[in-house]
Structure 1
Amino acid sequence: MKLSSMDASPRLLGLVWPFIAVVLAQALVASLSLYTLSAVRAYVGGESQWSKGQKHAIYFLSLYAGTGSEEFFSEYRGAIAVPLADRSARLALEQPEPDTNAARTGFLQGRNHPDDVTGMIWLFQNFRGFSYLDAAIRHWTAADTMILAIQQLGDAMHETLGKGPVSTAEISAWKAEIHRLDHQITPLSKAFSDSLGEGSRFIKMLLTFANLVTAALLILLAVWRTRKLLAQRQAFQLALNAERERAQITLASIGQAVISTGADGRLDYMNAVAERLLACPLSAARGKPIEWLFRLVDKDTSVEDVRLIERLLAGEPRRSSARPQLLQRPDGSVVPVALTGAPLLVSGHVVGAVLAFHDMTREEDYIERLSWQASHDALTGLANRRDFESRLERTIADLADRPRQHALMYLDLDQFKLVNDTCGHAAGDQLLRRISARLTNELRPGDVLARLGGDEFGVLLGDCDADSAADIAERLRAAVQDLHFAWDGRPFNTSVSIGMVQIADARVTIEETLRAADVACYMAKEKGRNRVQIHSDGDMALQERFGEMAWVQRLHAALEENRFRLHAQEIWPLDDDAAEAGVHVEILLRLTSEDGSFVTPQSFIPAAERYGLMPSIDRWVVRNTFA
């Protein structure tokens, strides 16, 4: 038989009215309990302020008796004002017609919280005859007598000290009286506090009992009403458990960490992979907010995604990003992850969210390893030439916005080839590692040391003036010289030649800076090795060497582009009688420059001789002369 809505409403009301009645009674008892306990707590807090004010009044009055300082008297007046204000509130409530406005003013001046004052007045008016509260008020009244005595003593002391200095005997008498009053008021204050504490505990026990009784009635009614529903609920639960078990087996078998939440954003389920990823078992995590389990932080910006669950529960899916994010656990450890999220929909309504994490630790480690290898020397662990030149380029570019002074050093080990040739590359590698460690120890934090080639190193000193840079260069040279290196019992002397150049002009290019340091290093080697050569624009020897080094690239290009030219000049004797048979010819070498002009040998031959290019030029001349 189908029931109409008019029949169904009374039936529904008949089913639930006992629950409603008990719940309302429970709510009423609970509200009354909370309000009463809050009022009692307010009195306990007020007693604490009263006791604190009384103790401070005794303390500062004693100091005032000994010093006569108005500052201590002012502190005393402020402290004693608290118990006096509480006294005025009590007297206002004890009147035949209680003056609640005056009582409110007194409690507020007694430093009670404004939100607690109404409850304190209500408790005083309705529970004044309650034994515990009555005993507390009697102790309060007795203590107020001592407070008035302290006030009278303070006023008398202030009046006497205001007339002029007082004798030591009078000060001693004051202090003795203060000590007597303090000795008398202390037991009363303790009794007041103990009475309030006993009353608070009794009221709490009484209200707890009332709440337990109403709760027990509600439980009995709930048990009686729900017994008929257990069979149907059990059948539904068995079906749900079977479905849940199938879903959990499926989730446990996949390799990604999967987390699901309820509509409130609290964790409902996670598979075994998620337990390992979050370092937290499901039993401990279930029901906890997602923010309690992890924080999702952008790897590049360090900005936390605080609205992740909020967006998912609003129906907005989260697609996986190509850039991994950092999952931060409660213990502070982080794991790089790729995240995919989606709202969980049932009948078109969002009932939770699902998050799938892929642990990117292996991928990130591989990327970091590749990145490190791309910018570091595998043998020494120092920055490589590519990374060093990149940092140097940024340093020079920054000079345009922030004029500063830096220094660049070019270091070339002396006679390193001797170690490789006599003991092998293993010895050379060990020497490079030891020298790298020595050089690193002599540098400041933030300085850059790089291996630029076989036995060549570069040093970039940021924010370093010329004198400081020269001192550091000398320390580096001494550190290499003091290294005692031996291989298979054979000792080797180690030294380094260092070229240094200051960087202060943003208009200079990285190539010019490196070339200047290289030329200075070459000059250090020419001057005997194991020394520091500082580049200077006024150094003629450096300028000459700089010009010669510029010719090296031009001569290589001329050989590759076949821009050398041969000129023949016939030779005639000055004495015709000494003429020999045949023709004598002198072959002259010229270089055609990039602009088409001829360059005479005296301009490029010195550089070719110094940098070992003469054999190549000689072969070119012979080959083309007899072609």
Structure 2
Amino acid sequence: MASTTVPGRRPHRLKTAGLVISLIILLIAAVAFTVSVVQIQSAITGYVGGNGIWSRAQLTAVSHLDDYAAQGHPEDLRLARQWLDIPLGDMDARLAMEQRPMDYEAARQGMLRGDNHPDDLAGMIWLYRYFSNVGVFRKAVEAWRDTDPYLLELNRITQSLTEAWPTSRPDPAQIEAVRARLDAVNQQLQVYARRFRTAMGEAARWTSTALSVVSAVFLILLALVAWRLGNRLVQIQRSSEQKFRSIFEQSAVGIIQVDTRGIVIDANQAACQILDTPDDQLLNSPVMERIHPDDLPLGSGPHKALLRGRMDSYTLEQRLQKGSGDHLWARLTVSMVNRRSGQAAYFVVMLEDISESRRLASELSYQATHDALTGLLNRREFEHRLAMMLGRARSEHSEHALCFIDLDQFKIVNDTSGHAAGDQLLREIARLAESRLREGDVLARLGGDEFGLILQNCNLDTAANVTEKLRQALESIVFTWEEQSHSIGASIGVVPIYAEAPDISDLLRSVDIACYMAKDGGRNRVYVSTPDDRQLHLQRGEMAWLNRIQAALTENRFYLDAQRILPARDDKKGLRYEVLVRLTNEQGERVSPAEFLPAAERFGIVHKIDRWVISEVVSQLARARQHLETLDACHINLSGRSFDQPDLADFIVGELNAHNIPGSKLCFEITETAAVHNLLDVKSFMTRLQKLGCTFALDDFGTGLSSFGYLRQLPVDCLKIDGSFVRNITRDRNDLAMVQAIHDISRTLDKVTVAECVEDGAAADLLKDVGVDFLQGFGLHRPCRFRELLFPHTHPEAADEPPLTEQVRWP
């Protein structure tokens, strides 16, 4: 026997969904229709009310115009215009609504002028937009349009009266003629106003009839659908209860049912596992026993609001007690189920274990506010605490102190023993500093080897004592790494946190300057600054150079001078000079390098000047190829701060390649201090550029105590003997001995020597006898514009200079 397949019925849920969708569609249609009808009725009401206002305004305007025509009182004219503006506003609104596209804002403003209520405007505009051409509304619109000529006539009468009365009293016959015109216009406007009101009444009655018919049809359809849906809902409810029970038991989220007395009446398996409690112990037990005592007050407020019906549910995070006695963090979502037909209400509690997410959130919060290396607060959190402390100082008039700690000689640890050693030293410093501070004080690592410290409720005298003891403790550290010992110091700036401080930025600038003052005073010391500290204000003035230097770079107000470096003996040939950066101010006046270079060095912007010099020198040499052939070396000074920029060598290589300049034409001068403080960076820089032929000179050589010790580690070609030894060489035997020692060692190491600050012929002769290779100073050549050396044919005064013995004029 062949089998046949009979199409089965759709699943119950699809049928129910279809019924529900049908009901929703009917509801949406009913709501839309009801809203539309309500809007229409409201708009009609608005128009009827507006018609009353329109008529009253028109009549009042005519009345005042009539009085003005008879008496000429300006107040009557003002009131006539005021009342006439109401119907004119309605006319402008209608004209705006008839535009395509409609000018909604103009229509709204016109309606407002027509004294219509603001709440009615949207409905009135909507009604006109969509129903102005429908039969029941068209009559009213046509009556409204017919009033336009008469309103304009009223406006013209107003204008003519305005022009007539101020000059002289009009002729009585003219007045009577105007009043007659007013009466005629008024009568015609009243006719159209009644026609408008009648048409709107018909529209209201038609709308009411349509609403009644559609409402009856809708109710019949709704009743039929509800009847069918009701039959299905009984079956669905039974099925839903079975499904709910299945979900309740199998859910991975803990679910607990609690009665209004707080007793657990049901719990699924997931809840028992989360709480580590068997269901027979959990059921019929007070739910409050599971909440940590400290967290009990957290849910009292929301729970009361839930009982009073002010909210449907609430979610909070609390600690719960497990069966083992341990605690866990849980997210509880509590909602109330209101039973009817005599059944009691109960609460449903959704339970999620969030212990791990809380732990991760706590770690992330800690990482966001703490330094990963030392465990101290980071800069962001420190500034937040500083803002709070400044707020306290302002509100409580309390005294606090802000300290900035910058470690001395820390870079040497990194350079000689590696960054791992530096990191370990920073950790030890952090532990030591924390152990010397009070519980309420705030210590943070601001970056690198810089630390910030806030001393609460501490005046400047006490802060000075505390920071001095801290400095001594840091100075006493002997850090050993791989059998190499290091000692450090700390320069500490201290400023008060006072109520008059503008903001924390001002405090941080002040303490940074105070720390600089400690460094400038010899390092490894404490500098305490008061709000009226003159030195601090002077340093602030130097900080103003930051913006001025930036502006000078942008406006190209830097230029180059050059000073020749002359051979001490005639057998040395070739042109050698040092370029010197110069600056003109906003008025075009020359600024001494002693004014802007220290500020640029101090506040970390000098590297931009160095790069400008390098770029300018290379581009100028590229344009003077003939000069380049005779050039032995162009000396360029580099600041120690430039070596803080890791791409310095890349920049110089790029400039040389871009302009096709041999590296052998450039000699970079690096101060001895910069070389010592940036030993590894300077050595790497020299090694790389040496491959391109660049040479290097140690500037101001001999001023440091470790000059000769570091000399072997650097690939230096030239030593520039510091001018402090050269100026008095003819009068001071010690200076002469120092110059002789430097020259002898340079000879041993096969280095070239240059004596700076040679100011007279006697010094030149003495240095020549010592054996110094090159001489530089005002006594030999005064700096001139760099361009004058590059292009002597355009600057005759800078042509090749005579030999040294001819150029120097001996006294």
The corresponding residue for 2:132 is: none
Deviation, 1:416, is 1.0
Deviation, 1:274, is 2.2
Indicate which of 275, 282, 286 corresponds to 2:283.
286
- Residues 340 and 557 (structure 1), Cα distance of their counterparts in 2 relative to 1, 3 Å cut: farther
- Residues 609 and 446 (structure 1), Cα distance of their counterparts in 2 relative to 1, 3 Å cut: closer
Measure, in 1, the Cα distance between the counterparts of 2:583 and 2:302: 75
Q: Which amino acid aligns with 2:557?
A: F
User: In the alignment, does 2:328 pair up with 1:337?
Assistant: no
User: Any idea what the Cα deviations from partners look like across 1:448-507, whole Å, max 9, x if unmatched?
Assistant: 111111111100111111121112101211221222311111111122111111121333
The corresponding residue for 1:452 is: 446
User: In the alignment, does 2:372 pair up with 1:381?
Assistant: no
User: Any idea what the Cα deviations from partners look like across 1:227-261, whole Å, max 9, x if unmatched?
Assistant: xxxxxxxxxxxxxxxx9999776434322111112
User: Any idea what the Cα deviations from partners look like across 1:193-246, whole Å, max 9, x if unmatched?
Assistant: xxxxxxxxxxxxxxxxxxxxxxxxxxxxxxxxxxxxxxxxxxxxxxxxxx9999
- Residues 527 and 265 (structure 1), Cα distance of their counterparts in 2 relative to 1, 3 Å cut: closer
RMSD of Structure 2 on Structure 1 (CA): 3.7
- What does residue range 221-232 of structure 1 map to in structure 2 within 5 Å? none
Measure, in 1, the Cα distance between the counterparts of 2:260 and 2:390: 56
Deviation, 1:304, is 2.7
Deviation, 1:414, is 1.1
The corresponding residue for 1:510 is: 504
Deviation, 1:394, is 2.2
Measure, in 2, the Cα distance between the counterparts of 1:446 and 1:270: 47
User: In the alignment, does 2:591 pair up with 1:600?
Assistant: yes
The corresponding residue for 2:473 is: 479
Q: Secondary structure at the match of 1:350?
A: coil
User: Any idea what the Cα deviations from partners look like across 1:533-586, whole Å, max 9, x if unmatched?
Assistant: 112456554444443344235424532x23525599xxxxxxxxxxxxxxxxx9
- Residues 566 and 434 (structure 1), Cα distance of their counterparts in 2 relative to 1, 3 Å cut: closer
Q: Which amino acid aligns with 1:398?
A: R
User: Any idea what the Cα deviations from partners look like across 1:380-431, whole Å, max 9, x if unmatched?
Assistant: 1111111111211222233222111111111111111111112211111111
- Residues 267 and 314 (structure 1), Cα distance of their counterparts in 2 relative to 1, 3 Å cut: farther
- Residues 488 and 606 (structure 1), Cα distance of their counterparts in 2 relative to 1, 3 Å cut: closer
Measure, in 1, the Cα distance between the counterparts of 2:280 and 2:601: 82
Measure, in 2, the Cα distance between the counterparts of 1:473 and 1:289: 57
The corresponding residue for 2:143 is: none
Deviation, 1:329, is 3.8
User: Any idea what the Cα deviations from partners look like across 1:35-80, whole Å, max 9, x if unmatched?
Assistant: xxxxxxxxxxxxxxxxxxxxxxxxxxxxxxxxxxxxxxxxxxxxxx
Q: Which amino acid aligns with 2:471?
A: R
User: In the alignment, does 2:263 pair up with 1:270?
Assistant: no
- What does residue range 72-221 of structure 1 map to in structure 2 within 5 Å? none
Q: Which amino acid aligns with 1:604?
A: F
Indicate which of 497, 501, 507 corresponds to 2:495.
501
Indicate which of 244, 248, 256 corresponds to 1:251.
248
Q: Which amino acid aligns with 2:591?
A: T
Q: Secondary structure at the match of 1:399?
A: helix
User: In the alignment, does 2:317 pair up with 1:325?
Assistant: yes
The corresponding residue for 1:520 is: 514
User: Any idea what the Cα deviations from partners look like across 1:2-23, whole Å, max 9, x if unmatched?
Assistant: xxxxxxxxxxxxxxxxxxxxxx
5+ long unaligned stretches in structure 1: 1-242, 569-585
Deviation, 1:317, is 6.7
Deviation, 1:435, is 0.6
Q: TM-score, normalised by structure 2?
A: 0.40
Q: Which amino acid aligns with 1:405?
A: E
Q: Which amino acid aligns with 2:250?
A: S
User: In the alignment, does 2:562 pair up with 1:562?
Assistant: no
Indicate which of 403, 412, 421 corresponds to 2:415.
421
The corresponding residue for 1:396 is: 390
Q: Secondary structure at the match of 2:336?
A: strand
The corresponding residue for 1:371 is: 365
Deviation, 1:309, is 6.1
Measure, in 2, the Cα distance between the counterparts of 1:310 and 1:549: 60
The corresponding residue for 1:261 is: 258
Q: Which amino acid aligns with 1:423?
A: S
- Residues 533 and 271 (structure 1), Cα distance of their counterparts in 2 relative to 1, 3 Å cut: same
Measure, in 2, the Cα distance between the counterparts of 1:307 and 1:567: 75
Deviation, 1:333, is 4.4
5+ long unaligned stretches in structure 2: 1-239, 562-578, 624-811
Any conservation in 1 of the 2:496–2:531 contact (CA below 8 Å)? no
The corresponding residue for 2:433 is: 439
Q: TM-score, normalised by structure 1?
A: 0.51
Q: Which amino acid aligns with 2:600?
A: A
- Residues 463 and 279 (structure 1), Cα distance of their counterparts in 2 relative to 1, 3 Å cut: farther
- Residues 621 and 591 (structure 1), Cα distance of their counterparts in 2 relative to 1, 3 Å cut: farther
Measure, in 2, the Cα distance between the counterparts of 1:588 and 1:497: 31
- Residues 316 and 376 (structure 1), Cα distance of their counterparts in 2 relative to 1, 3 Å cut: same
Measure, in 1, the Cα distance between the counterparts of 2:508 and 2:552: 23
User: In the alignment, does 2:468 pair up with 1:468?
Assistant: no
- Residues 461 and 285 (structure 1), Cα distance of their counterparts in 2 relative to 1, 3 Å cut: same
Any conservation in 2 of the 1:397–1:506 contact (CA below 8 Å)? no
Q: Which amino acid aligns with 1:256?
A: V
Q: Which amino acid aligns with 1:607?
A: A
Aligned residues: 361
- Residues 317 and 550 (structure 1), Cα distance of their counterparts in 2 relative to 1, 3 Å cut: closer
Q: Secondary structure at the match of 2:492?
A: strand
Tell me whether 530-539 or 461-470 shows the greater mean CA deviation: 530-539
The corresponding residue for 2:637 is: none
- What does residue range 59-70 of structure 1 map to in structure 2 within 5 Å? none
Measure, in 2, the Cα distance between the counterparts of 1:425 and 1:491: 15
Measure, in 1, the Cα distance between the counterparts of 2:418 and 2:368: 27
Q: Secondary structure at the match of 1:345?
A: coil
- Residues 469 and 310 (structure 1), Cα distance of their counterparts in 2 relative to 1, 3 Å cut: closer
